[in-house]
Amino acid sequence: MDVLKKVPVREQDPKVRAANFEEVCLGYNEEEAREEASRCIQCKNPKCVKGCPVSINIPGFIKEVEQGNIEEAAKVIAKSSALPAVCGRVCPQESQCEGQCIRGIKGEPVSIGKLERFVADWSREHGIVPEAPEKTNGKKVAVIGSGPSGLTCAGDLAKLGYEVTIFEALHEPGGVLTYGIPEFRLPKEGVVQPEIDNVRKLGVKIETNVIVGKSVTIDELLDEEGFQAVFIGSGAGLPMFMGIPGENANGVFSANEYLTRSNLMKAFRDDYDTPIVAGRKVAVVGGGNVAMDAARTALRLGAEVHIVYRRSEAELPARAEEVHHAKEEGIIFDLLSNPIEILTDEKGWVSGMKCIRMELGEPDASGRRRPVEVKGSEFVIDVDTVIMSLGTSPNPLISNTTKGLDINKRKCIIAEESTGKTSKEGVYAGGDAVTGAATVILAMEAGRAGARGIDEYLSARE
């Protein structure tokens, strides 16, 4: 064994997986996990923990894995994370825990994410479930949204003895885990639902098909339904568009709609009657993880797929692993290109996309070099479907129906980072509803902060 290199993780062959929706990464078995765990040098001042937004005791759980005590490893992780099987799959470990790993200075960092995934999967397969508190404290808390921040906040509060009810607008819980991230990256029945069930086993109730702001307001939850505090974890599901000519054509989707049809409504399965325009030749505009998810979904539905991104590969915001997988599967990257018009046929359907070449200028506020148009460089891509993946913002329904809840110019709820406290008494918020679109693990961090804030608030009122 070369201690400077990660134990390789098994994956589906690219040519095979490009035609199915089964999980790409197959993960470690116990022998591989213990071997990889032995690479951890058990730092006395572990920087990896500081790199983890929810502060998992990473050396602690890895040592248990190395010794074969997988159930103990699961208990260590459970103290900090309610969604380990999810985080082990979709967290950007390379820029967080693994990015801080000392082993990575002279070699490759320890595969912390793959080890977390192994522990979570082992726990599920062996029926290990979290223990609910023996009794509740009689205090009711409402959580809006069953995505990563809502589930985490609800789980932490339930462990403290609160009676928690989650209100979810859609017919299935999970938020972005259910409707946003594709099956081949995050299996719904095998991974997401068992993680949600574990939160339920802590005593959390989940009510679906409840649109807060329409079915019930936050004021009604506090004044009439007996809830003493509310956490808003409603995410950022409102898609952004470019505002270019032809963007309203038939065959133009937001990545949100496209992925929701496939993931939540099972449009990718032949035994479901949910329609989706598969497309013969698809352009996905954007370069983030959501763009990669939409592109790889379209590919599996039989299309030739182009990623159209206005910067170079070095500036792609998507995880390196996702870009690597997309390239392996045959997705074409049209970089330093930007759409300026969607072309249509006589029936109003997409017939092509006019783009312009870009070059990189000086860095902008994000630190990335700003793309500048190259005059006279227009060209047309022959496509029949366009998927816009340009980011999302919070739906203003909750803020519009809640007096005293302050928002910023981006329509995001203003909340304290350390506690989730908003301008309205008893109301806390976190995740994408506060920050705009971000990662699963950052939403979970905000959920933990909100639980702490609510606990401090309600404890002080005794």
pLDDT beyond 90 at 170: yes
**Same domain? 250 vs 206:** no
Residue 132 scores a pLDDT above 90 = no
Structural domain span for residue 76: 10-125
Does the pLDDT value for residue 366 go beyond 90? no
If asked whether residues 49 and 69 sit together in one domain, one would say yes
- Specify whether 278 is located in the same domain as 217: no
- Judge contact between 292 and 323, C-beta under 8 A: yes
Instruction: Verify that 386 and 454 share a domain, yes or no.
Output: no
Both 215 and 272 in one domain: the answer is no
- Asked which of 125, 155, 183 is the last residue of a domain, the reply is 125
**Number of folded domains that form the chain:** 3
Helix ranges (H only) for 171-330 are 176-179, 193-200, 218-223, 255-263, 289-300, 320-329
The answer to whether residue 134 is domain-embedded is no
CATH code for the domain of 281: 3.50.50.60
Q: Examine the domain organization and report whether 276 and 386 are in the same domain.
A: yes
Rounded CA separation 265/287 (Å): 25
Residue 224 token pair: 């009439």
Please check whether residue 448 lies inside any domain of the structure.
yes
The least confident of 126-135, 136-145, 206-215 is: 126-135
Q: How far apart are CA 27 and CA 14, in angstroms?
A: 16
Domain check: are 256 and 363 in the same one?
Answer: yes
CA-nearest of 451, 397, 429 to 237 is: 397
Report pLDDT for 264. 85
**Rounded mean pLDDT, 399-425:** 96
Q: Residue 368: pLDDT band by 50, 70, 90 thresholds?
A: confident
Full-model pTM: 0.92
Q: What is the pLDDT of residue 143?
A: 98
221, pLDDT greater than 80: yes
pLDDT in tens, 76-113: 999 999 999 999 999 999 999 999 999 999 999 999 99
Question: Quick check: 363 pLDDT over 90?
Answer: no
Please indicate, yes or no, whether residues 305 and 368 belong to a single structural domain of this protein. Answer: yes
- Domain closes at, from 332, 366, 390: 390
Check whether residue 214 and residue 295 sit in a common domain: no
CATH number of 57's domain: 1.10.1060.10
Q: How many residues does the chain have?
A: 462
Question: pLDDT averaged over the chain?
Answer: 95
Exposure string over 41-77, b if 16+ CB within 10 A, otherwise e: eeeeebebbebbbbebbbbbbbbbbbeeebeebbbbb
**Element (H or E) spanning 243, and its range?**
none
Q: Does the pLDDT value for residue 5 go beyond 90?
A: yes
From the number of C-beta atoms within 10 Å of its C-beta (0-12, 13-18, 19+), residue 413 rates as buried
Residues 245 and 384 both lie in one domain: yes
Distance CA 4, CA 38 (A): 11
Q: Do residues 281 and 382 share a domain?
A: yes
Does residue 286 surpass a pLDDT of 90?
A: yes
Q: Do 384 and 252 fall within a single domain?
A: yes
Residue 395: in which H helix or E strand, if any?
none
For residue 3, is it within any domain?
Answer: no
Residue 361 has pLDDT above 80, yes or no: yes
Residue 173 main-chain phi, psi, to 5 deg: -75, 165
| Residue 187 CB-half CA count within 13 A | 14
Question: Would 408 be classed as within a structural domain?
Answer: yes
Is 444 contained in some domain? yes
Higher-confidence residue of 162 and 410: namely: 162
Q: Is 161 exposed, middle or buried (0-12, 13-18, 19+ CB in 10 A)?
A: middle
Out of 125, 155, 179, pick the residue that ends a domain.
125
How far is the CA of 103 from the CAs of 47, 48, 50, 175, 383, in angstroms?
Answer: 11, 10, 15, 35, 46
Residue 154 inside a domain? The answer is: yes
Q: Give the three-state DSSP class for 385.
A: strand
CA distance 340 to 180: 27
- Asked if residue 258 belongs to a domain, the reply is yes
